Amino acid sequence: MEPDSVEMEGQHSVSSLEEPKGDESAAGETPCSIPRTGPNKFLSKHRMVAAITLLQNQINFIQEELDQLDTFGESSIVCEELLSKVESIPDPLLPS
């Protein structure tokens, strides 16, 4: 018996790495009832609309951030002011 297999009385041994066979499928699901994105590239209309909506929300969020960045002043001016203030105060921990 394999270490990842389970054997019950009156049932076949099934490895956890194997896919269930036709009569062993979980909860009565048939392979046809599960939508898949494979070679046929099937994707439901609802999922496609949800993906487009998600992308549109991300675009709007990024656009708002870009608009906010436009309202900020030049960062180099702020950095220069901060640097001049910090350099003007001597550091008590450094030897003079």
pLDDT recorded at residue 14: 47
| Ranges of the chain whose pLDDT falls below 70 | 1-42, 96
pLDDT recorded at residue 56: 98
Listed in sequence order, the residues at least 6 apart from 20 whose beta carbon sits closer than 8 Å to its beta carbon are 14, 26
From CA 6, how far away is CA 51, in angstroms rounded? 39
Cα–Cα distances (Å) from 95 to 33, 86, 91, in that order, read 77, 17, 8
The count of residues in the chain is 96
Give SS3 for 13: coil
pLDDT recorded at residue 70: 81
